[in-house]
């Protein structure tokens, strides 16, 4: 097992056992739920957004270790980011996992998430929370433009 594999396993197991931000935000600006029928994973993302910045983000759900750990990592990565930064991180992660794009993640958390590429059957588990998070953010943009 190389060092990235080892890091990957340790971080995924840790976040699965002790998910960060695993709660509901009652006053969330936006929520979205994602479902991955291939594995049975379901996660709901809660976002509080003010002035284009993600003030708070949390999730609830159930699924395999990778889907829960990925959601947990995502909440840690996205908290405090602008919506544009969140979109850019999603695009980077998505390109990294679904194409041959070579990316150099800047943080250990992102490195672990892109490491899922080595486990192709689990990529949908890893991106589920991100798809839900981005869907929630796009609702926000729609609301802003229609008001
Ligand atoms: Zn899964």
CA 110 to centroid of ligand 1, rounded, Å: 18
Residue 113 has pLDDT above 80, yes or no: yes
Judge whether residue 101 has pLDDT over 70. Answer: yes
Q: Quick one: pLDDT band at residue 146, thresholds 50, 70, 90? A: very low
* Span from the CA of 41 to the centroid of ligand 1 (angstroms): 5
The answer to whether the beta carbons of residues 96 and 67 sit under 8 Å apart is: no
pLDDT at 147 over 50: no
- Ligand 1 center to 72 CA (angstroms): 14
Q: Is the pLDDT of residue 144 over 60?
A: no
Dihedral sign computed on CA atoms, order 92, 15, 81, 30: positive
Give the per-residue pLDDT at 1: 55
Q: pLDDT class for 136, splitting at 50, 70, 90?
A: very high
Of the candidates 78, 99, 80, 97, which has an alpha carbon nearest to the alpha carbon of residue 89?
78
């Amino acid at each position: 097992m190389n060092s990235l594999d080892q890091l990957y396993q340790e971080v995924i197991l840790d976040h699965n056992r002790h998910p960060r931000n695993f709660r509901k935000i009652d006053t969330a600006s936006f929520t979205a739920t994602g479902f991955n029928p291939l594995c049975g994973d379901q996660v709901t993302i809660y976002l509080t957004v003010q002035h284009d910045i993600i003030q708070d983000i949390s999730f609830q759900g159930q699924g395999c270790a990778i889907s829960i750990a990925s959601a947990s990592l995502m909440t840690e990565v996205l908290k405090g980011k602008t919506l544009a930064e969140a979109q850019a991180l999603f695009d980077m992660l998505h390109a990294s996992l679904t194409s041959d794009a070579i990316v150099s993640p800047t943080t250990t958390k992102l490195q672990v998430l892109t490491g899922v590429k080595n486990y192709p059957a689990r990529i949908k588990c890893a991106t589920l929370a991100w798809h839900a998070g981005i869907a929630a953010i796009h609702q926000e943009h729609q609301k802003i433009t229609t008001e």
